[in-house]
Amino acid sequence: MTMKRIIIITIAVLMAMPVFAQGAQYRKKLREIKKEGWELYGSSKTMKDVLRIHYEALNQEGVFEVFGSATGIKSESIGQQMAWNNASINYVQQAGSFLRGRIATDNHAGGGYDGEFNHFYSAYETLLQKEIRGELRPSYTLVRHNTDGTCQVMSYFIVNEEAAMNARIKAMELAASESEAAQRIAERISEFVKEGFDE
């Protein structure tokens, strides 16, 4: 076998590895969904097609998954809206916790600004929730019916990291304009917001 042929085969194998990993994730998720009694909601596609499209999207660089849930509700469509809201709240809380931790660490446990920063954090999270909701791209929704006539809803979204970062920056700038403490270290806060976090 020539060196050129070995290199071509190696490249082909390396390129196929993410697809195999994605396929394994996809099959595992499909088994879980079926075992737990979930049904696809609001799509004319099959569960297999929806999951395949979802994992293909996740395989792209610069995107991540966010999900939200709603339980004990009577209307599937209201549950879907509640799950969307829950997904944005989950993202905002994670982003807010990361930012709080970074600022506290950078300022050696707050640097005496705790009271002033509480207003900033609250404003940041409120503004980020408005901004990020528009960046959640719906992927699929699952519904499971309970014996008491209510249902549970799980909605999954794809988010572009660059769009999420822009939402975080916009929320940070608006929140910082109302906080003297945040304005004093605005450049460092901006660096933390741009860093993102492990979603």
- 3-state SS, the chain, equals CCHHHHHHHHHHHHHHHHHHHHHHHHHHHHHHHHHCCCEEECCCCCHHHHHHHHHHHHCCCCEEEEEEEEEEECCHHHHHHHHHHHHHHHHHHHHHHHHHHHHHHHCCCCCCCHHHHHHHHHHHHHHHHHHHHCCCEEEEEEEEECCCCCEEEEEEEEEEHHHHHHHHHHHHHHHHCCCHHHHHCHHHHHHHHHHCCCC
Q: What is the pLDDT of residue 112?
A: 53
Q: What is the pLDDT of residue 29?
A: 83
Average pLDDT over residues 88-104: 83
pLDDT surpassing 50 at residue 108: yes
**Sheet of 63-73, strand order:** 39-41, 137-145, 151-160, 63-73
pLDDT surpassing 60 at residue 113: no
Average pLDDT over residues 25-32: 82
pLDDT surpassing 90 at residue 12: no
Measuring CA to CA, which residue among 29, 34, 130 is closest to residue 89?
A: 130
Q: What is the pLDDT of residue 176?
A: 77
pLDDT surpassing 50 at residue 137: yes
- What's the total number of domains in the chain? 1
Burial class for 87, CB neighbours closer than 10 Å (0-12, 13-18, 19+): buried
Percent of the chain with pLDDT over 90: 31
Better-scored residue on pLDDT, 47 or 16:
47
> CB count, 10 Å around CB of 44?
7
Tokens coding 79: 């549950």
Domain residues for the domain of 82 are 3-195
pLDDT surpassing 50 at residue 190: yes
Where is mean pLDDT largest: 21-35, 93-107, 129-143?
A: 129-143
pLDDT tens digit string along 34-93?
899 999 999 899 998 899 899 889 888 899 999 999 999 999 999 999 999 999 999 988
Q: How far apart are CA 39 and CA 31, in angstroms?
A: 12
